[in-house]
Amino acid sequence: MHPSFASQSIRMDSIPNARELKGYVMEDGRKVKAGRLLRCGDLGRASDADLRRLNEEFRLAVDFDFRMEMEVRQSPDRPVEGAEYFFLPTLDPVKAQISMDELQGTGIRGFRDFVTRGASHPYVQEFARSMYVGMVDSEYTQLQYAVFFQKILSTPDGAILWHCSQGKDRTGLGTAFILFALGASRETVLADYRITNEAFASEIEKATRYILSLGGGEAELTVVNSLVGANEAYFIDALDLIDRKYGSMQDYLRDILLVSEYDQATLRDRYLE
């Protein structure tokens, strides 16, 4: 299977990067069921029609919000009838505040400024490079994803949805962990991750043009690719760190995210066919 945004989209009017994991073939030959595992960006943008579909078509049971409190205040999720809202910020708030303080010292304000004018700043470049490896190695983040799995395991019926602001980084790691727990290969995980670059193709192209107009080079374009799109090399760095430091992804799932072999078998029986 060669997934694309078209093949995985759940066709929402206003929710960015909204898609599902249907059809992915696991290493045991089974496939992910349609309509059960959903990922997306900011649910605060959802239209009334989007909310109805999540309720009526998908029977959404839980909406996991991985964003920070500040992001939620700026764009709170629109509630889906019948679904539980589960606030689960996956970035360490202490480290996030340190980053905010650092940014204030640079004079950079807002996400657009961060991506464009900030692309030449060493702090922003390092942030882009270390974002994923920092998350997978953070005890705070590990605990949050462990809670994520335990809540999924206790929700046998209906669909589950997880999201952040763009539905690509915090959401992307959550997706990778779920796919690995279901028995996916690394290539399947990376193929799903890459779809974000289709979902945000126009935004990436606009930011790229702007950076080039300012005389930006490879380092600046890497920031755009990382913060507007999906930087596969940096994502692979995080997966490699897991193998190198924790033994393997299976060891990480079992010992760090506390997803036992029995838990994984439960998830596979529930979400695979």
pLDDT digits (tens, 9 = 90+) for 187-196: 999 999 999 9
Q: Please return the burial class of 43, using the count of CB atoms within 10 Å of its CB with bins 0-12, 13-18 and 19+.
A: buried
Give the C-alpha separation, 176 to 90, whole Å. Answer: 14
Give the C-alpha separation, 210 to 189, whole Å. Answer: 31
Domains for the chain: give ranges and CATH numbers: 5-271 (3.90.190.10)
pLDDT of residue 216: 87
Contact assessment for residue 251 and residue 241, using Cβ atoms and an 8 Å cutoff: no
pLDDT of residue 103: 62
Share of the chain above pLDDT 90, in %: 81
The two structure tokens encoding residue 128: 């882009």
Q: What is the pTM of this model?
A: 0.94
pLDDT of residue 1: 65
The two structure tokens encoding residue 227: 């913060």
pLDDT of residue 97: 73
Task: Name the least confident of 7-11, 106-110, 129-133, 240-244.
Answer: 106-110
pLDDT of residue 114: 67
User: What does DSSP say about strands 60-65 and 159-163: parallel, antiparallel, or unpaired?
Assistant: parallel
| CA-to-CA separations, 157 to 36, 37, 56, in angstroms, rounded | 9, 11, 14
Find the helix packing angle between 261-271 and 139-153, rounded to 10°: 50
Contact assessment for residue 175 and residue 196, using Cβ atoms and an 8 Å cutoff: no
Task: Look over the chain and give the mean of its residue pLDDT values, rounded to a whole number.
Answer: 93
Better pLDDT: 121 or 260: 260
Residue 106: pLDDT over 70 = no
Tens of pLDDT, residue by residue over 109-157, are: 666 666 666 788 888 888 899 999 999 999 999 999 999 999 999 999 9
Strands of the sheet containing 37-40, edge to edge, are: 19-20, 37-40, 159-163, 60-65, 84-87
pLDDT of residue 56: 97
pLDDT of residue 98: 67
In sequence order, what are the beta bridge partners of 39? 19, 162
Tens of pLDDT, residue by residue over 200-211, are: 999 999 989 988
Tens of pLDDT, residue by residue over 43-90, are: 999 999 999 999 999 999 999 999 999 899 999 999 999 999 999 999
Share of the chain above pLDDT 70, in %: 92
Task: Name the least confident of 125-134, 158-167, 229-238.
Answer: 125-134
pLDDT of residue 104: 62
pLDDT of residue 122: 84
Band (107; pLDDT cuts 50, 70, 90)? low
